[in-house]
Structure 1
Amino acid sequence: MSDTLSRPILLRLDDTDAPLIPTSLGKADPFAARRGVAWSGETAMAAGRVAWEGGTLFMSAFPHTELLIVQGGALTVESGMETDAPVTLRLGVGQAAVLPRGAALRLRADAPVSWSFCAAVAPASAPALGVFALVVDPQPVLSPSAAPAAELLLGPVPACRSANQAHDAATGLRVGVWDSTPYARRLIPHRVNELMHILEGEVTLTDESGAAHRVVAGDTVFVPRGAPCAWTSAIHVRKIYAVQDAPA
């Protein structure tokens, strides 16, 4: 994939009016005709939105790893049908799941459904990631994690916590939940490609032009690696994240 943007900016994936490019994530992408991409990079990572009219879709081997966050309607995901303990996920608005590369999946929607996504495509030689789709737990047990470096902060050092819930080593994609006490960080290039879905609180992300983007609970945004971005939060923030370790 090549960059679909001429310069990195913050992208709102939950905005139905946001500009999207109809793009397939590969020949086997089951939503090729329904997928709109807001950003894609050289590391075969993409973010955007899917609008599906509904129905039932079965895939014997899902072709990539995808975090989805339902924005409208409802989606049922069945996995592990070949095992003695199949799993059925029923996802409503604001709920998230990871569809693993190589898993046999059945997706069903009784009415139109839409979701924001962050996906990563692995080389054909990469092994399957798993058998079961995984619902992202919005309230996991969190462990202390690194705070921003003191020299980047405009005030006290925050207390940060996180919990990784899925990791695709072949693409560097990690999905989990993070939270933090309030803090302010100066404008710096964002260090990773990151989808953020705010679960609690709000944050203001300011770009290099000085434009302030208020992101509140329920919002889903994507910030590409290298995008100049300042962070200001006056209250506790908790978010689902999908980040990619590999350089953009």
Structure 2
Amino acid sequence: MTTITDCPTFIDLKTLADAATPAGDDPFGHDARELDIGAGPCTVKAIALAAGSGASEALDGDTFVLVTKGAVQLTGSNGAVDLAAGESAVIARGTPFSWRAQKPATLIGMSYPLGEGGQARIVKIDNNASLNPSNPPADEVLISEKPSCRSNNHFSSEDGQFSCGVWDSTPYTRKPIFFHHTELMHLLAGEVTFTDAVGTTATFSKGDTLIIEQGAECSWDSRVNVAKIYSTFKPAA
């Protein structure tokens, strides 16, 4: 992978998260390090946990969290969720929860503050979830043959603009498209190369975590099957 942390289109989040250090007593909230990333109304944070435990009254937005190093247990009203590196969950807005880490851990968080609050809960994203057919890229942007795509959406905000789940696809290549939305992705399998409007190129593979900023313009080129966890903000209009 070509490590990119300051490209205005696709950004290597794992490198940024792993550089974070524990600070303060509210690591999921105001003490998390907010990253300078264009993600629409969403905030993207590097969360560093020291070995130990803590609690949060509630977060002010539906918050996707992905463990990039170590492991953490999150406990809410609907029970405990154990997350190892490469695993993720969504903490619904207004959910009181506690956390516990046997060793220091780092996470990436993506929080969506808009819309109405829903049911208080913590939803684990199942990396091995069964997937259903989903829409492939539009014919007009495809350079290759049409791929076969599948997905399983585990969580949606009450207004439907923020969603998190798992997706996979057979290989395909498409032209650069303009991102009206923003997408954080963690690759579970395969490899994909992105090229932006000014020719910057980076290849990400299994285990990498990146985000494509809102307003970016970039292509997609995968020569093998790709699977990913996603956390996406898509404006309603």
Tell me the equivalent position of 2:103: 111
Identity of aligned residues (%): 29
2:131 to 125, 128, 142: 142
Give the number of equivalent residue pairs.
228
Say whether the 8 Å CA contact 2:87–2:125 is kept in structure 1. Answer: yes
Aligned CA distance change for structure 1 residues 180 and 104 (closer, same or farther; 3 Å): same
Counterpart for residue 10 of structure 1:
10
- 1:34 and 1:49 map into 2 onto residues whose CA distance is 6
Unaligned residue ranges in structure 1 (runs of 5+): 1-5, 21-27, 81-85
The CA distance in 2 between the partners of 1:99 and 1:17, in whole Å, is: 19
Shift of 1:169: 2.3
**Post-superposition CA distance 1:81-100 (Å, at most 9, x none):** xxxxx411121111111111
Return the TM-score normalized by structure 1: 0.83
Conserved in 2, the CA contact under 8 Å of 1:143 and 1:163?
yes
Find the counterpart in structure 2 of residue 63 from structure 1: 60
Aligned letter for 1:37?
L
SS at match of 2:14: coil
Give the superposition deviation at 1:209: 1.9
Q: Deviations over 1:49-101 (max 9, x none)?
A: 21122432222333221111101111110111xxxxx4111211111111111
Q: What is the deviation of 1:247?
A: 6.8
Q: Distance in 1 between matches of 2:27 and 2:19?
A: 21
Shift, 1:235, TM fit: 0.4
Structure 2 residues without counterparts, runs of 5 or longer: 1-5, 21-25
Q: 2:215 corresponds to which residue?
A: 226
Q: Which of 166, 169, 172 pairs up with 2:155?
A: 166
Q: Which runs of 4+ in 1 moved over 4 A?
A: 17-20
> Cα offset for 1:19?
9.4
| Corresponding position of 2:204 | 215
Distance 1:61 1:171 in 2: 21
1:183 deviates by 0.4
Tell me what 1:75 maps to: 72
Q: Distance in 1 between matches of 2:28 and 2:43?
A: 15
1:214 to partner: Cα distance = 0.4
Separation of aligned partners in 2, 1:40 and 1:54: 31
TM-score of the two chains, using structure 2 as the length reference: 0.87
Does the alignment pair 1:47 with 2:47? no
| Deviation at residue 147 of structure 1 after TM alignment | 1.0
How far does residue 33 in structure 1 lie from its aligned partner after superposition?
A: 2.2
Picking from 93, 107, 110, the partner of 2:85 is 93
Aligned-residue RMSD, C-alpha? 2.6
- CA deviation after TM superposition for structure 1 residue 239, in Å: 0.5
State the distance in 2 between where 1:218 and 1:29 align: 24
Is contact 2:180-2:235 (8 Å) kept?
no
Quote the residue 1:23 is aligned against.
Answer: none
